[in-house]
Amino acid sequence: MEKNPFKNVDPVLVDIKDPQVDYAWSVRHGVINLRKATLSRYHGGGRVRFFARGIAFFVAFAFFALVAHTSYIVYKTKDEVGKTGFRVAENIRSSVLSLQSFDATNAKTGFKENILEIQKLESSLEENGLSKMASALGGIIPAFKSVGVLLQNTASLNTSFFTLADSLDTLQRNGFLYFQSDGPKLIKTLESTRNAISTIVSSAESIKNATNNLKSFSNSARLMDKDIAEMYLSHSAELYRVETFLDSFISLINSEEEKHILLMFQNPAEIRPAGGFLGSYADVGVTRGQMTTLDVRDIYDPDGQMFEKIVPPKELQTITEAWGARDANWFFDFPASAENVSWFLEHSKIYSEKNVTFDMVVSINIPVVESILELSGPIALPEYNLVISKDNFLTEVQREVEAGKDKKTNGQPKTILKKLAPILIEQMKTLSDDQKEKLITAFGDHIEKKDIMFYAKDPSIQSFFHTYGVDGSVTSFPNNFWGSYVAVVNTNVAGGKTDAFIDQTIDATVHIDTSGSLLTDLSVTRTHTGGDKKDPWWNVENKNYIQILTNPGSSLVSLSGNSTKKERSIFDYGANKFEYRDALQKIEKSKVLLTEWNAWMFNAFDKTGFGTWFFVPAKKSKTVSFRYHTDNEVGVDIKDGTIYTFFYDRQSGVPTSLSVVVNAPIGFVWKETNNPVLSFDVEETKGVESFSGELIHTSASN
């Protein structure tokens, strides 16, 4: 007899052994009473964050169930089925990890191997007559019918995963090319992706139903059904969300009526809350999945034809009387900025007369263009006597915009961008597969750093962007959150283009008392390395309105190192019948002047904020320091096992190093360090940085 692959399991298991039955003889001669047999026990793996990894476990469960139930029919094939199940499950796990890393090529290899494995198993079962036997028994014992359902649906699940990987691979390699010149292929590939996910959902549900039918057959099946049910419930919502997103996105770009996507080109050299000054933008027209128009414009074009009179933020009122699209990316929360920029553009005569609205907004910072240039190679612009590369893009384009011939001769300083953009897009068509993979990796890094952010008016699409953290929204707290939240938001107001030469470091020390309240010392150091550059806009004083966003209900204790801005606007907005935008007015109304420190306290996006001016001359380094107190408003009880979490929300376009020290309450230490100090350091922050620590009482740590 072949060795049983399951450990610690008798060949035949029964609830109560009959002393008159020779079970060993029964196994040797193939005489087994199915009604007295029981399944071997198998415990599934734990949950994983990525939805497809959770679905991969369905395959493992399905095959293990198949192993056990097929062994009731004929014992000799269980090794073959078991080994196949393990190989298939392992392939899916590794392949899904590849998908998670956007490596669709390797993912396809694993799923393709599984298709062959499953086909071999099905052929083997058919040759031995086991499929017919299971079908016949299914009419007598319904559980056997579920065995076939498991095999059928695990095969369907794997095939759907292969289709998904293949579609994603196609999108990675050719998606942008299709968007430029072959819309039908783009739509077909997106539909294939959506259909694969839909089949994954239905196959997973069928597997769940099959295990539900089997659970009454044995205790092991009940355990498997419980684990599968938990995973199905936890991941089905996420699968549904992706499917809903694709439905809405395909519907949007596949419209016969031209839809418009707004590309915001943000320049972090003049930093604004959402990422950088919005000097230029592009209106991208899309019909039937294909880009039909690309209109690159100076932001002052629509602002010059904007007749609504809107009150600007107070901090801008000394440099402009009216608010416009150029300054509408004023909010750290990108969806709020995108919505406001769109509103201003849509109310400009350029677009209002044509009833043009923007369904989606994508922001792009300069480092994104530099990454494209690094792979596509330099671009020659003979009319400007320039060769634009990654290394000189910012300096040469900025010089042409600020003091070039286009500005002097025709008053169109952004003409160079209009000429550069289509050439850059054409060069992207010629990238090799290896270069495309590198560009995808670079884009992933830019998304993490908020150099690329997305917003959509359609709720399903926007919900997807928000859920996967690509919309640049202010981080929301989980329920009953206890810990610290910090965002440092810089705004260049008449400070030239000096943020290109600013290095920023943030140091935070958090003191926790025994009541759970927090006292935070936060210091922001900015070093201006300009001052001796060829162009004057790099060398002026960096004039920054700095905001600290933190836990709601926090109060400022002290402030030092900040600056005083003497200019004040005397324009009477009420008398001139200016109107407020709601998002700005809500924040402005909450502002309280803290005269002792020449600062303001306000509420924004469910956070408390402190704002002040902070100027740094060229060749200088300065530090502004905030001390603020946060009550334990959630009422957390400080005891063994209490978890503290620190969140840092990075501003788009501002490279920053972060150092955090958290001091435990008296009588406690951190489990992670076994001492009262917990530290966290990041050389360059990404989108959202977080870390946690567990408190333990000193008596418990000894």
477 inside domain: no
Give me the CATH number covering residue 629.
2.60.40.3680
501: Cβ contacts below 8 Å, ≥ 6 apart: 528, 529, 530, 533, 538
The percentage of residues in the chain with a pLDDT greater than 70, rounded to a whole number, is 75
DSSP conformation class of 600: E
231 with 269, same domain? no
Q: How far apart are CA 31 and CA 23, in angstroms?
A: 9
475 inside domain: no
674 inside domain: yes
The answer, yes or no, to whether residue 42 has pLDDT greater than 60, is no
Helix residue ranges per DSSP H, 505-660? 582-590
The confidence score (pLDDT) of residue 226 equals 58
Domain boundary among 219, 253, 287: 253
| Pick from 159-173, 548-562, 657-671: least confident | 159-173
The confidence score (pLDDT) of residue 269 equals 97
Contact 329, 275 (CB under 8 A): yes
287 with 187, same domain? no
Q: How far apart are CA 339 and CA 325, in angstroms?
A: 11
The percentage of residues in the chain with a pLDDT greater than 90, rounded to a whole number, is 61
**Cα–Cα distance list, 584 to 309, 454, 577, 604 (Å):** 14, 21, 17, 9
pLDDT category of residue 89 using cuts at 50, 70 and 90 = low
pLDDT in tens, 279-303: 999 999 999 999 999 999 999 999 9
Q: Which two tokens stand for residue 381?
A: 């612009």
Beta bridge partners of 511: 519, 663
439 inside domain: yes
Residue with tokens 């042409």: 400
134 with 267, same domain? no
Its domain, for residue 495, covers 483-562+597-701
| Pick from 210-224, 516-530, 580-594: least confident | 210-224
State pTM to two decimals.
Answer: 0.82
| Pick from 150-154, 314-318, 354-358, 590-594: least confident | 150-154
| Pick from 71-85, 279-293, 417-431: least confident | 71-85
446 with 531, same domain? no
422 with 495, same domain? no
The answer, yes or no, to whether residue 27 has pLDDT greater than 50, is no
371 inside domain: yes
The confidence score (pLDDT) of residue 292 equals 95
Written in H, E and C, the secondary structure of 161-187 is: HHHHHHHHHHHHHHHHHHHHHCHHHHH
**Residues 595-615, mean pLDDT to the nearest whole number:** 97
- Cα angle 53, 191, 464 (rounded to 5 degrees) comes to 55
Contact 358, 451 (CB under 8 A): no
One-letter amino acid for residue 119 of the chain: Q
569 inside domain: no
310 with 358, same domain? yes
**Residues 620-632, mean pLDDT to the nearest whole number:** 97
28 with 75, same domain? no
Domain boundary among 253, 283, 312: 253
233 with 319, same domain? no
The answer, yes or no, to whether residue 629 has pLDDT greater than 90, is yes
pLDDT category of residue 245 using cuts at 50, 70 and 90 = very high
218 inside domain: yes
Number of structural domains in the chain:
4
197 with 63, same domain? yes
**Cα–Cα distance list, 133 to 207, 419, 460 (Å):** 21, 71, 47
Domain boundary among 227, 253, 279: 253
pLDDT in tens, 458-514: 999 999 999 989 999 999 988 889 999 999 999 999 999 999 999 999 999 999 999
368 with 236, same domain? no
427 inside domain: yes
119: Cβ contacts below 8 Å, ≥ 6 apart: none
pLDDT in tens, 160-170: 778 888 888 88
Specify the pairing of strand 277-287 against strand 290-298.
Answer: antiparallel
463 with 502, same domain? no
123 with 13, same domain? no
Contact 181, 175 (CB under 8 A): no
